Amino acid sequence: MLHVVSAEESGRRTDLLVASLSGASRSRVAQRAKLGEILVNGASAKPSLLLEEGDVLEFEIPPPRTLVAYAEPIELAVLYEDDDLLVVDKPAGMVTHPAHGAPSGTLVNALLAHTKETLPGDMLRPGLVHRLDRDTSGLLVVAKRDATLEALQAAMKARRIAREYLGLVSGIPQNPRGRIDGPIGRDPRNRLKYTITSEGKPAVTHYTVREAFPKAAELVFTLDTGRTHQIRVHLAAAGHPIINDPLYGKREPRFELPGQALHAWRLAFPHPRTGAIVEFEVPPPPGYLQARRLVSL
């Protein structure tokens, strides 16, 4: 596309004008600029370049590739399965469902290969009742039928699905038990992060100190809500970031973990068909246990 900058557009940043003209996001425009595919007067332009009247913009922003969730033969740790649902232990480092940054190799891809059937719900998040961050390991329940998904989603909304997490944090909380109440929304300064903000959605995290170490502690977390990065945001705001968290704390090479030391270890819910409470527990993976040994010294 060719566009001649008008007097009204003079002084605007290249990325902002291209985004406005193309309908693409500013980040996508910046990606194309880095590839040298946005030209001003025939030369590659930086996204921040301020335009002048008469400048000739030349660009083409292809639409993002359509994401499709397809079956991949990926090893999957299944703790329980029946005709209605299955409970899996997601490893740290695995994305839960396909996204533009991770179109394949996800838990959903593995689930589709394992079940060999269509799962209910969203095409990119089939069967998912809840999610875990990429580097958080542990238990997830997955629905195999439409009625099961609806029942489990209703149970989640009514807080009848109990989830407990284990986490290693920097420092030792002053109180052995606590409640962190802070609405969570996206961080305006970093789109990869979330933060406590008055404009966010309500979020409540409960914690209990399971064991205190010299300069760290292991906590048990339960959630009243399930916001993205909730535990990580709340504990960082409380001054006790999750150990080895690259977004809200710091990564340490001594730990054999891909990211934060956080593990979803217990899960309990009423079975949608029988109504009986089913409970599951899975120990933390070796990387978490290695980190725990190091911080206990």
In the chain, how long is the greatest CA-to-CA distance?
72
Catalytic residue among 55, 133, 135, 245: 133
Q: Which residue has the tokens 């090479």?
A: 253
C-alpha distance from residue 296 to each of 21, 42, 127, 206, 289 (Å): 56, 60, 39, 23, 11
How far is 268 from 89, CA to CA, in rounded Å? 14
* Active site annotation includes 133: yes
Burial class (CB in 10 A: 0-12, 13-18, 19+), 289: middle
Burial class (CB in 10 A: 0-12, 13-18, 19+), 255: buried
Q: Exposure pattern of 15-46 as b/e (b: 16+ CB <10 Å)?
A: bebbbeebebeeebbbebbeeebbbbeeeebe
Cβ partners under 8 Å of residue 9, min gap 6? 17, 51, 53
C-alpha distance from residue 173 to each of 166, 239, 257, 294 (Å): 15, 9, 23, 19
Under 8 Å between Cβ of 246 and 262:
no
How many residues are listed for the chain in this entry? 297
Q: What share of the chain is helix, strand, coil (3-state, %, to 5)?
A: 20, 30, 50
Active-site amino acid positions: 133
